[in-house]
């Protein structure tokens, strides 16, 4: 880990899964899915906020990158969760960058074909350690794994924008 390197946490929020990625400088230090089980409730919101709060305490990021939600394509619960995250970030006095998936794809996909498959392949090229997760995503055909790749893309896009890549 580079001393003094920028630390970025990428968060792809969801009402069932949170995609998380942590960059220290150019190194991908952590990536995972956090599962939010059960029906949507205040307790579930508190659990999600607690997970993100623990990540902030553990990794001490300089900035956060979070997926920009499309209001017409997001549930009321997801919009509420994103709002609670914003309150947490404000309390922690963290700088937050928001990116849509199309904006992330624009950072990494050169041939103009913007789709999730190309984003996944770009992230694996940038971080070969993700190859194992690519194989899982291909075999399961589950939106579960795409959340990790999007979280990595969020953190990486932020690093690029900040000139730290």
pLDDT reading at 2 higher than 50: no
Residue spans of alpha helices (H) in the chain: 42-59, 76-91, 101-108, 116-126, 131-140, 143-161
Winning range, highest mean pLDDT, from 88-92, 105-109, 126-130, 140-144:
88-92
pLDDT greater than 60 at residue 139: no
Tokens of residue 121, six digits: 């392949």
Question: pLDDT tens for residues 18-67?
Answer: 999 999 988 999 999 999 998 989 999 999 999 999 999 999 999 999 99
User: What does pTM read for this prediction?
Assistant: 0.88
| Pairwise CA distance, residues 1 & 114, whole Å | 32
pLDDT, tens only, 61-119: 999 999 998 877 788 888 899 999 999 999 999 999 999 988 888 888 777 677 778 88
What pLDDT sits at residue 10? 97
**Domain 7-161 CATH assignment equals 3.40.50.410:** no
Polymer length of the chain: 165
Q: What is the pLDDT confidence band of residue 1, given thresholds at 50, 70 and 90?
A: very low
H-helix or E-strand spanning residue 27: strand 27-35
Q: Where are the domains of the chain?
A: 7-161
């Amino acid at each position: 880990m580079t001393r003094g390197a920028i630390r970025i946490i990428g968060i792809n929020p969801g009402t069932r899964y949170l995609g998380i990625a942590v960059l220290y400088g150019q190194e991908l230090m952590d990536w995972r899915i956090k599962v939010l089980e059960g029906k949507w409730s205040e307790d579930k919101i508190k659990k999600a906020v607690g997970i993100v709060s623990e990540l902030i305490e553990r990794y001490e990021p300089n900035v956060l990158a979070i997926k920009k939600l499309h209001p017409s394509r997001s549930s009321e619960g997801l919009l509420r969760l994103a709002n609670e995250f914003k309150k947490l970030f404000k309390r922690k006095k963290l700088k937050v960058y928001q990116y849509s998936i199309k904006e992330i794809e624009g950072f990494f996909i050169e041939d103009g074909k913007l789709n999730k498959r190309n984003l996944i392949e770009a992230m694996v090229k940038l971080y070969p350690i993700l190859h194992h997760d690519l194989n899982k995503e291909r075999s399961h055909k589950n939106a579960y794994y795409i959340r990790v790749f999007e979280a990595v893309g969020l953190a990486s896009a932020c690093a690029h924008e900040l000139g730290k890549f």
